[in-house]
Amino acid sequence: MKESALYVHIPFCDHKCIYCDFYSIITSDNIKPFLNSVKKEIKNYSSAYSSDRIFTSIYFGGGTPSLMEPGYLEEIIFFLKENYHVSDEAEITMETNPGTVNKEKLKSFRGSGINRISIGIQSFHDDELKFLTRIHDKNTAIETVHNAKQAGFENISVDLIFNLPGQTKQKWKNNLETAAQLPIKHLSAYSLILERGTILNKMVLDKKVIMQDDDHDADLYEMTIDFMEANGFHQYEVSNFALPGYECLHNNTYWSYRDYLSFGTSAHSFVDGKRWWNFSSLKRYISEIESNGSAAAGYEVISEEQKLNEYVMLALRSSGVRLEEFKNMFGDNWINKKYDYFVALKERNLVSIENNLLRLTKSGYALCDEILKDIL
């Protein structure tokens, strides 16, 4: 059976941060109708995708899924398990933000079947949190992690953002030190990126905010890699670090180019070489589900060239290109054509080639986008 993943996008949020470009809405309207529509969408796809695959992870993203009552997500989990072959050992993740949950609510989420929690902290400095327009402060962030541990979550991940305007190396190191002292098993560290349509992007265009340069960004990134590895966290993807055995199974599905089926507003699915995406508008999503059982706004069938490019991109960003697997999927023509380039990268210590695995080194990760652009 094919190993695949399930994703559910919960669009409801209590606040829109200046840097966020994910689909979210600041309203409590249509929470119940949305649940009904998600269940209909889950049921609709089950006849086509439930018999030949086992689902090893469920991921609730958003938005802020933890704004929902625990029973809300529990109902979706139950319905997914009722309609699909979900592994008994499935990793079930919920994204949450400090300030939206207390210890009792976290206990209820744990009791509902969620066994992994991803906490969007972003910074442990109150001035940085204020700039990012987060609703929490440093103390609330730290308290949320400890509450999650006490509520029964062993698998805890936190998100941090680096290279904020004016952020020094010492300030970023302090963020990493604070995180490392907490009972976490996983950390995601992202460089602050300007996304079109965000409030932050307009602030930069209006020259109200000045972003830091690429060299400083690279220095902070390499500091992150060195610090996390020194504290026992290995880097298994460009932005992700985990203690041994705590790599995110769900995200590894994406990076390993395996299938995933997604539900909810703006959700993207990739199954059997076909990709489709849902309407973002909540009202449009509900209307389409009611009328058609599906809310797909568009789709594409992946060509062989696209498949090769996407496979290489995802593999190099994570655990590397397994050369035998690659040749079985695509033949050896592409590898032969790129061989001299890979040798040149190896001489610059940007890639390693060992045991039929081609992967980026620490220095290579820092230049990942540039290397991928040259290759693809």
Does 240 map to a domain? yes
- Dihedrals phi, psi of 120, to nearest 5 degrees: -85, 85
Most distant CA pair in the chain, distance: 58
Does 315 map to a domain? yes
Exposed / middle / buried, residue 181 (Cβ in 10 Å: 0-12, 13-18, 19+):
exposed
The answer to whether residues 109 and 223 belong to one domain is yes
The total number of structural domains in the chain stands at: 2
CATH number of the domain that residue 369 is part of: 1.10.10.10
Quote the CA–CA distance of 171 and 173 in Å, as a whole number: 5
The answer to whether residues 126 and 246 belong to one domain is yes
User: What angle, 0 to 180 degrees and rounded to 10, lies between the N-to-C axes of helices 368-375 and 333-347?
Assistant: 140
The answer to whether residues 331 and 204 belong to one domain is no
The answer to whether residues 86 and 183 belong to one domain is yes
Does 282 map to a domain? no
Question: Range of 187's domain?
Answer: 2-255
CATH number of the domain that residue 31 is part of: 3.20.20.70
pLDDT tens per residue, range 312-365: 999 999 999 999 999 999 998 998 999 899 999 999 999 999 999 999 998 899
Quote the CA–CA distance of 337 and 335 in Å, as a whole number: 5
Q: Is the pTM of this model over 0.85?
A: yes
The answer to whether residues 86 and 220 belong to one domain is yes
The answer to whether residues 37 and 139 belong to one domain is yes
Does 161 map to a domain? yes
CA 367, distance to chain mean position in Å, is: 20
pLDDT at 200: 66
Mean pLDDT in order along the chain per 10 residues (376 residues): 95 69 66 96 93 94 91 97 97 94 97 97 92 85 97 98 92 97 97 71 69 85 96 96 97 95 97 96 95 95 95 94 93 91 93 92 89 89
pLDDT at 19: 57
User: Where a domain ends, among 192, 220, 255?
Assistant: 255
The answer to whether residues 343 and 251 belong to one domain is no
Closest CA to 76 of 46, 38, 47, 44: 38
Does 298 map to a domain? no
The answer to whether residues 233 and 315 belong to one domain is no
User: Where a domain ends, among 240, 255, 270?
Assistant: 255
pLDDT at 27: 65
- Dihedrals phi, psi of 276, to nearest 5 degrees: -140, 160
User: Where a domain ends, among 194, 227, 255?
Assistant: 255
Does 181 map to a domain? yes
pLDDT at 50: 83
The answer to whether residues 181 and 241 belong to one domain is yes
Does 265 map to a domain? no
Does 341 map to a domain? yes
Residue 108 tokens, joined: 């209820």
Helices of type H across the chain: 31-49, 70-83, 103-111, 126-131, 138-150, 169-180, 199-205, 214-230, 249-255, 282-292, 304-317, 323-330, 333-347, 362-366, 368-375
The answer to whether residues 28 and 87 belong to one domain is yes
CA 157, distance to chain mean position in Å, is: 11
The answer to whether residues 182 and 324 belong to one domain is no
pLDDT at 135: 82
The answer to whether residues 241 and 322 belong to one domain is no
